[in-house]
Structure 1
Amino acid sequence: MVIYEASLGGLRVKSLSLATECESCGRPMSSNADHGAQNPDNSYCIHCTDLKGKLLPFEKIYEDLVSQAMQTRWMNKEQAEKFALEEMGKWPAWKDKVSEMPKPA
């Protein structure tokens, strides 16, 4: 179960979803097809796993997130890299790895 929180003109709105959240990227997984290897016990989504359901390397997920941020959020590369690390630091799969990385100057 995932609780989404958003701000709409200063008003905080929470919505409840029965979808589980990918522990690598935060995407909602509302059906078996959304889980890695279509296994509902897999904590990672199909975007973060290989065909067997194994979690892809940190570098691959990071590069994909940077690319997405640049394309969909109109960020330059430096902004997108910072955003990607901040986001990945929130997710269980990468929290320890991100906290061990040196902070950018």
Structure 2
Amino acid sequence: MTTLTCESCSMPIGTGRYCVHCTDAEGNLQGFEERFAAMTTWRLEREPGLDREAAEAETLAWMATMPAWADHPAVTRRS
């Protein structure tokens, strides 16, 4: 059995391109700002001592490695 990963966040998934956390009610990929905010919040919850600026920088760096976001202007501007 092949395990797929979400092209937005890399979470393991069974089918499709994106996980339930990265999609809206219709199954479409959420917008960049919504995903960026949610991923940054997740990062801050995982490491409480991390400041927001560092969490945002780490989130952008992570998103740059994900196929769904690699060409997004907010990600490519940081290069």
Q: TM-score, length-normalised on structure 1?
A: 0.67
1:45-74 deviation line (CA, Å, top 9, x unaligned)? 100001211000000110011111111123
- Determine whether 1:25 maps to 2:9: yes
Query: Greater strand percent: which structure?
Result: 1
Gap regions ≥5 residues in structure 2: none
4+ residue runs over 6 A deviation:
none
Whichever of the two has the greater Rg, that structure is 1
Q: TM-score, length-normalised on structure 2?
A: 0.87
Q: Among the aligned pairs, what percent are the same residue?
A: 35
Gap regions ≥5 residues in structure 1: 2-17, 32-39
Alignment RMSD: 1.7
Output the CA distance in 1 between the equivalents of 2:40 and 2:20. Answer: 18
